[in-house]
C-alpha cells in the first residue's frame, strides 16, 4: 500500500516540477528552433531535434541541468540529443538542398559551426558555450577561430540587400564586402527589391521586414522565391513576428541590434546550406 500511495505523489511532484520548468524555458523555444534550423539547414529536421529535446525534458524534468541558467540548460539538453543522432527526420529532408547540406556536413567539423552559431547568432558567452558543448573556454575559442578561417574560404557571393534605413544598409554593405562578398544592389522597397532580384539574380538576399513605403520584406522575398531559389536571411528587430510556429519560418534570422560576427556567420551558414527563406 505504501508503494501505491507514493507513486501518485511522485507523479504529482514530477508534474509540478515540469510545469515550473516549462514556464522558465518557454520564452527561449522560438530562438532554439531558429538555432536548430540554422544548424541542420532545414525546418523539419531542426524542429525534430527541438521536439525530441522537449520530450526528454518532459520525461525527466529532474535531470534538467540547473548548474546554468534555464536558456543555457535548454540548449545543453538540445546538444545532448543532437550528439546522440538518434532522431528520425521527415521525408522532406531528402530534398536537393537538404541532401547537399548533409553531404557538406560530413566533410566539416560540426563543433566549429556549433561554437560559432552559439556565440554569434545566439549571443552565448564563450564560457556558456563551453558548458553547452562540454568544452573548455580555450577549446571554444579555438573552434571559433577555426570557424572564422573556414568562413574566409567559403565561396564568395553577390548579395542583394533589402533595407530602408540608409545607415544600416551601408553598414551591412561594409560587413559583407569586408568578408569578401559583393553587393549587387541595395533596395528600400519591396517592388524595387523584386525588380533588382530578377535583374541581378543574387547569390543571397539580406532582407529587412518593414520597408520604407510600408511594404513588406516578407512579401518581396516570397515573390523573389517564386521566380528562382536563393538563400535568404531576414534581419529584424521583431523576430517574434516570424518565429510563431504557425507557418513555415525562415531558416536564417538575425535580430537587431546585430554584431558583425552575427552577420558574417549567418551569411556563411546560408551559403553553406544554399537554402531558401522557407516562407513559401
Task: Check if CATH label 3.40.630.10 holds for domain 155-273.
Answer: no
pLDDT > 70 in the chain, percent = 75
The per-residue pLDDT for 8 is 42
pLDDT at residue 234 is higher than 50: yes
Return the residue matching grid coordinates 540608409: 166
pLDDT digits (tens, 9 = 90+) for 175-222: 999 888 999 999 999 999 999 999 999 999 999 988 878 888 889 999
The per-residue pLDDT for 240 is 65
| Residue from 207, 239, 245 nearest 225 by CA | 207
pLDDT digits (tens, 9 = 90+) for 89-141: 554 444 455 555 455 544 457 788 899 889 887 889 999 999 999 999 999 99
Angle at 35 (CA atoms; ends 41, 252), nearest 5 degrees = 60
Give the pLDDT band (50/70/90) at residue 79.
very high
**2-96 CATH choice from 3.30.420.280, 3.30.450.20, 2.40.50.140, 1.10.1740.10:** 1.10.1740.10
The per-residue pLDDT for 110 is 79
Q: Give the number of other Cβ atoms within 10 Å of residue 167's Cβ.
A: 8
Q: Which residue has the higher pLDDT, 76 or 42?
A: 76
Sequence spans of domains, the chain? 2-96, 108-153, 155-273
- The predicted model scores a pTM of 0.60
Task: Supply the DSSP string of 131-143, one letter for each residue.
Answer: HHHT--HHHHHHH
The per-residue pLDDT for 134 is 93
Q: Give the number of other Cβ atoms within 10 Å of residue 210's Cβ.
A: 15
Domain 108-153: give its CATH architecture. Answer: Orthogonal Bundle (1.10)
Amino acid at each position: 500500500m505504501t508503494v501505491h500511495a507514493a507513486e501518485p505523489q511522485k507523479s504529482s511532484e514530477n508534474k509540478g516540477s515540469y510545469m515550473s520548468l516549462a514556464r522558465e524555458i518557454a520564452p527561449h523555444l522560438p530562438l532554439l528552433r531558429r538555432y536548430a534550423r540554422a544548424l541542420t539547414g532545414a525546418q523539419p529536421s531542426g524542429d525534430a531535434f527541438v521536439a525530441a529535446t522537449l520530450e526528454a525534458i518532459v520525461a525527466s524534468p529532474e535531470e534538467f541541468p540547473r548548474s546554468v541558467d534555464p536558456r543555457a540548460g535548454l540548449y545543453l539538453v538540445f546538444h545532448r540529443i543532437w550528439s546522440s543522432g538518434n532522431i528520425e527526420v521527415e521525408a522532406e529532408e531528402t530534398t536537393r538542398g537538404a541532401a547537399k547540406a548533409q553531404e557538406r556536413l560530413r566533410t566539416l567539423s560540426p563543433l566549429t559551426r556549433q561554437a560559432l552559431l552559439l556565440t554569434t547568432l545566439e549571443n552565448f558567452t564563450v564560457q556558456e558555450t563551453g558548458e553547452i558543448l562540454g568544452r573548455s573556454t580555450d577549446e571554444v575559442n579555438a573552434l571559433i577561430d577555426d570557424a572564422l578561417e573556414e568562413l574566409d574560404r567559403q565561396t564568395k557571393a553577390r548579395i542583394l540587400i533589402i533595407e530602408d534605413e540608409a545607415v544600416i544598409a551601408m553598414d551591412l554593405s561594409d560587413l559583407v564586402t569586408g568578408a569578401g562578398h559583393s553587393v549587387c544592389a541595395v533596395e528600400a522597397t519591396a517592388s524595387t527589391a523584386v525588380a533588382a532580384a530578377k535583374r541581378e539574380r543574387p547569390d543571397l538576399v539580406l532582407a529587412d521586414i518593414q520597408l520604407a513605403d510600408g511594404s513588406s520584406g516578407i512579401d518581396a522575398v516570397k515573390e523573389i522565391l517564386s521566380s528562382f531559389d536563393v538563400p535568404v536571411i531576414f534581419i529584424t528587430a521583431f523576430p517574434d513576428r516570424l518565429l510563431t510556429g504557425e507557418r513555415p519560418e525562415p531558416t536564417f534570422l538575425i535580430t537587431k541590434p546585430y554584431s558583425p560576427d552575427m552577420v558574417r556567420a549567418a551569411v556563411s551558414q546560408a551559403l553553406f546550406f544554399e537554402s531558401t527563406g522557407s516562407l513559401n
